[in-house]
Structure 1
Amino acid sequence: MTTAPLRKDAARNWHRIVEVGRRMVDEGTPIQLNDVARAAEVGVATVYRHFPTPEALLETLAVDGLEALVERAFAAGDPWPALRDLLYAGVDAQITDRALAPVFAAPVDALPRTTELKRRLVGRFGELLGRAHAAGAVDPAVTAADLMPLMCGVIFAAGVHPAATTAERAATARHYLTVLLEGIRRRS
């Protein structure tokens, strides 16, 4: 389905709304559409016309990161490095883009594009884990259902760590993920 291009003023408003939403997410401020309208200096109806819910705006902010992770997930490689590298990319992305973690954690998606990207990513993750199991690189008792909450735990732990900068939080998350991966890896 294609949509008609936005008029110049509507496109300008859309970009202003997205910029304000990005700033709020980066600052850790919850997205309230009335606050977004005020900060973007547009009417509340304008914000709701573009983004009917705060979740729709949040998912719009996260789409670039989701697309990059899906692209990364389909990069070729040996089973263990491919799985490991995808998990590191996922941790890095969630630490550097604060829109991603809540979008991953949401039980329901506001936008069909988000649902599609998450479906592809989770499917590929399962394939990579299956390949790693088949290669004997990962403990066969470890499932995708095990790893998903553990990954959330790594992100959470890195987020509450007293690191001052995004780079320090990313390094902490990578360290925690390394500990996790060493625990699930099978050795010959």
Structure 2
Amino acid sequence: MTTSRIRKDAARNWQHIVDTARRFVDEGEDLRLNDVARAASIGVATVYRHFPTSEALLETLARPRLEGLVAFADRAATGDDAWEGFAGFLLAGVEAQVTDASLPPVLATDKHALPETTELVTRLFSATGQLLDHARAAGAVRSGVTHEDIVRLMCGVAFAAGVHALPDERAALTRRYLNITLTGIRVH
């Protein structure tokens, strides 16, 4: 066998593992590597070769959304309206948590399996603080609101929308709860 054939097979297996794991997470099933291997009809050793832990696999699933949120924050930081950038970023963040089941556990942990996940989460939390500071400096956010307040409020909004709504109602409920929260922290 040629090296390119092995690499194509490995890439195909990697993608099949990720797709199978995505189904597990989206359906609310526990992400166990042996179960993923069985469901994907791929050898357990192959799954472990690509993903040494279930946390590494979960972080791989969350990575595109994390990258998207970091990019959103970068764009929001360069916008003209500090409040709109801040509020838009928070909306994107809570909607991502409600629509992508891989994201909340990755954001909730202090220790990540993959260094790139640690970097992305660090950038995301830093961007939240920078956008808050920018909105506060523009006079749009109450002076006593802290970065920690925002992180906890966004977790609360995402949790409440995730628990108290059917899947097809979550986006609307997320926006409603976030708007109520933003009204409370905004300087009018």
**TM-score, length-normalised on structure 2?**
0.92
AA of the residue aligned to 2:23: R
Output the CA distance in 2 between the equivalents of 1:44 and 1:27: 21
Who is 1:148 aligned against?
151
1:182 counterpart = 2:183? yes
Q: Could you say which structure has the higher helix fraction?
A: 2
Output the CA distance in 2 between the equivalents of 1:164 and 1:121: 25
1:73 counterpart = 2:73? yes
1:1-188 equivalence runs, <5 A: 7-75=7-75, 76-77=78-79, 78-165=81-168, 168-187=169-188
Q: Which runs of 5+ in 2 are unaligned?
A: none
**Which SS does the other structure have where 1:74 is aligned?**
helix
Count residues with an aligned counterpart. 182
Identity %: 58
**Which SS does the other structure have where 1:70 is aligned?**
helix
AA of the residue aligned to 2:69: L
Contact 2:86 2:135 in 1 (8 A): yes
Contact 2:95 2:158 in 1 (8 A): no
Q: Deviations over 1:92-138 (max 9, x none)?
A: 11122111111111121111111111111111111111111111111
Output the CA distance in 2 between the equivalents of 1:164 and 1:104: 21
Output the CA distance in 2 between the equivalents of 1:90 and 1:52: 28
Contact 2:33 2:53 in 1 (8 A): yes
- Pick closer, same or farther for the CA change 1:59–1:164 going to 2, 3 Å: closer
**TM-score, length-normalised on structure 1?**
0.92
Deviates more, 1:115-124 or 1:54-63: 115-124
Q: Report the RMSD for the aligned CA atoms in angstroms.
A: 1.5
Which 4+ runs in 1 deviate beyond 3 A? none
AA of the residue aligned to 1:71: A
Q: Deviations over 1:146-187 (max 9, x none)?
A: 11111111111011113242xx10110111011000001112
Q: Deviations over 1:49-78 (max 9, x none)?
A: 111111100110011101110110011222
Output the CA distance in 1 between the equivalents of 2:128 and 2:167: 31
